[in-house]
Structure 1
């Protein structure tokens, strides 16, 4: 009788999980909810009730992030973006190549599975989850290898979203300096945009432009990966949304759309809050438990390397 009562209570609680999750997601759409708060709310739900829509939210996160990034283009100036892109170009090449090389070296030292290690290195070097999703089919990674790499990247992204703005203010970084640093040192585009928007509008413009130009390196890295792993018939996903972001930026610069631009960028920032909520909601206990300490250590060391080295170069050059 007591066992039956316990089962009934558990069933009732599970029925409440879905409406509770939907309500929390709706709250993140409110204008006063910041991106860090949205992320924290998602993580809190993941660690308590779990994610009742795990498969759906993974797909939705991917599309929502891309649409949000395109929307942010309507708030940017092409001339300023071109200048920011030029400033970050050499830093991008140097940081990507050294991070991938260090990742390979760490995989040998810690004896980490080469597929998992390469996914973590690619995610750290280029653009987080987007790079991992693009490289995974090239190396023919299995579900376990993919989930470990994504778990580490999303976990470190969550820390970066809170940590980087605090460090930026402590170090008295300018808007340009912080924009460059966050674009290079924070893995995922969502956390880059979230951290930079918290720091300031100029930082947001620099960070978004540099990060998206960095994301284009998915293509050459994927091609080199297919040669190194000798993968025949590998499919390479091209980040098409970057082209639409450029179109949106050009429209905002050269067309008289100043009246609707704030509406579009405001909607994009709201979409970004929801995106970060969904990313947090995917950091479930099961995902965190399945990571393993060696891949996590590799991810942390790579992140520390790219963060410190990029900051030192930026402080010297800017």
Structure 2
């Protein structure tokens, strides 16, 4: 009887501990959701709306970490958000991609888009080696610049086995610098010697995020906005082959160095499936809009989990040279795409 009572007590204690762990796990997820909600609210305010919900959420998380400290008691839930919510957000992100429109109407735009990706990654990595910058962080920035900003960084980070801090830093930098470029494009628009349609395509081919393209092209009218988004969707489409190439490269690199090879990015299969569903199934526009908002919010929540790993001291020591390489690469992409459009047109 005494032994049975002791066993029952131990079992009850285990249940209590397990329940407490589940509670902390849920609280960790809720913590990232609350911060993401705060970032989304801030991003709706005049002036701040230029930087977007993701960057606002990251900034709140970074300030929290460096002023208050990391909330260790809910770490598991936060890490879950940073890893798995991010993958789920990328899957939902696929609904934004109209594959049929890109393939049948993109035409020459896909060539320009591929050019942008090659120039962005190559220029960033060459400058990173020249500046002796952190190559892992620089590669993430190059991919974000070439493809589709923070979403591309979130998609390739698991493939490249990037740590949470590098992912958060690069996503924040992309959002911030992309906003600066967007404001610059909008200011220059009336003075550029190109047609409105060419300006829209230039925005879509060279700016960092979908939101940046929309903000830069919208003042020129709905037709210009449509062309800009079409050009941008081509770059999102090219994220699929780029991710597969990176996965193959990491697998070869792992085998060569005797390390464990990179796992196949199965969430990209979900990304492709949702892209096909959004393209060919009769899903109402309001449903797609709600899915798009959910994707953005979940990605912001994931970025909170990543932002909590950022040390400002390491940001100063590790990020400045990759940042410089990325800014120069962005200028090169804008300049080359501008003159290519001027000379060759669409």
TM above 0.5, one fold?
A: yes
Q: Does 1:246 align with 2:276?
A: yes
Q: Secondary structure at the match of 2:263?
A: coil
For 1:42, the equivalent position in structure 2 comes to: 56
For 2:265, the equivalent position in structure 1 comes to: 237
Measure the CA separation in 2 of the matches of 1:286 and 1:77. 36
Contact 2:159–2:243 at 8 Å: present in 1 too?
A: no
Q: CA deviation at 1:289?
A: 5.3
Which structure shows the bigger proportion of residues in helix conformation? 2
For 1:313, the equivalent position in structure 2 comes to: 340
Structure 2 unaligned residues grouped into runs of 5+: 1-30, 66-70, 72-76
Larger Rg: 2
Measure the CA separation in 2 of the matches of 1:183 and 1:196. 8
Structure 1 unaligned residues grouped into runs of 5+: 1-16, 252-256
Larger RCO (alpha carbons 8 Å, 6+ apart): 1
Aligned-pair RMSD on alpha carbons? 4.5
TM-score (norm: length of structure 1): 0.67
For 2:227, the equivalent position in structure 1 comes to: 203
Select 1:186's aligned residue among 204, 207, 216.
207
Cα distance change of structure 1 residues 204 and 263 upon mapping to structure 2, 3 Å threshold: farther
Cα distance change of structure 1 residues 162 and 127 upon mapping to structure 2, 3 Å threshold: same
Select 2:286's aligned residue among 263, 285, 297.
263
For 2:120, the equivalent position in structure 1 comes to: 99
Q: Does 1:171 align with 2:192?
A: yes
Measure the CA separation in 2 of the matches of 1:126 and 1:23. 26
Q: Does 1:90 align with 2:111?
A: yes
Aligned length: 290
Contact 2:58–2:168 at 8 Å: present in 1 too?
A: no
Please give the per-residue CA displacement for 1:87-131, whole angstroms capped at 9, x wherever unaligned: 222223333233333223212211123323323223323333344
Deviates more, 1:306-315 or 1:43-52: 43-52
Q: Secondary structure at the match of 2:208?
A: coil
Cα distance change of structure 1 residues 208 and 95 upon mapping to structure 2, 3 Å threshold: closer
Please give the per-residue CA displacement for 1:269-313, whole angstroms capped at 9, x wherever unaligned: 544664686588676895665333111111111111112211221
TM-score (norm: length of structure 2): 0.62
Q: CA deviation at 1:135?
A: 4.2
Deviates more, 1:84-93 or 1:156-165: 156-165
